[in-house]
Amino acid sequence: MTQKSLLFTEETPMQTRHTLLATALAAVLALGAGAHALAADAHPHPDGEESSPLALNHGKKWTTDAPLRKSMNEIRKALAAKQDGIHKGTLTPADYQALAMTVDAQAAIIIAECKLEPAADANLHLIMAELFAGAQAMQGKSASNPRAGAVQTVRAVNHYGQYFDHPGWKALR
């Protein structure tokens, strides 16, 4: 196979973009980059725009799209299945690793398929940063312990439900 055939595939431009974003996300996660930097760099914003606290859209929840709802459902489902163990502190390191891998995989899908308007996207970045930080802690890649990382991830999932319109969404306890 020639070098050219390795570089140029028959992917559509959107598939290529998704592949590049997923590859970049995997590389950053493998290097143990900070969660806030990852979330901030996933979708660059104009210079001078800084993060602010989560906010509603003029008193209403932000609109979501199908890929975001699907991935957040998967993250919530994984956390709900281990919720008692998180609260009791009885999860094994392998349990935390599996949760973190689910969060990372679903977050990569969210980043690759993000189609929210800029203000909603900015709020989602704050939740994504919290998800990534929790996943990093569950993997032992931060100063926080894995249980604290799981609790942080649960908090991020609950923030998502408070600020984003996701029909049927139920907060975790």
DSSP state letters, the chain: --HHHHH--S--HHHHHHHHHHHHHHHHHHHT--HHHHHHHHS---TT--------BTTBPBP--HHHHHHHHHHHHHHHHTHHHHHHT---HHHHHHHHHHHHHHHHHHHHT----HHHHHHHHHHHHHHHHHHHHHTT-SSS-HHHHHHHHHHHHHHHHHHB--TT-----
Q: Check residue 162 and give its pLDDT.
A: 97
The domain spans of the chain are 64-173
pLDDT(4) > 70: no
Task: Compute the mean pLDDT over every residue in the chain, rounded to the nearest whole number.
Answer: 78
Whether 45 contacts 124, CB under 8 Å: no
Whether 125 has a pLDDT exceeding 50, the answer reads yes
Of 46 and 53, the structure prediction assigns the larger pLDDT to 53
| pLDDT single digits (tens) 6-49 | 333 344 443 433 333 333 344 333 333 333 333 333 433 333 34
Give the pLDDT confidence of 145-165 residue by residue, as tens digits: 999 999 999 999 999 999 999
The residue among 169 and 7 whose pLDDT is bigger is 169
Q: Over 90: is that where the pLDDT of 93 sits? A: yes
Average pLDDT on 77-103 reads 96
Share of the chain above pLDDT 90, in %: 66
Retrieve residue 137's tokens.
Answer: 């802690």
Which residues are CB-contacts of 5 (< 8 A; sequence separation ≥ 6)? none
What is the model's pLDDT at position 52? 60
Return the minimum-mean-pLDDT range out of 22-26, 73-77, 110-114.
22-26
> Is residue 71 within 8 Å of 129, Cβ to Cβ?
no
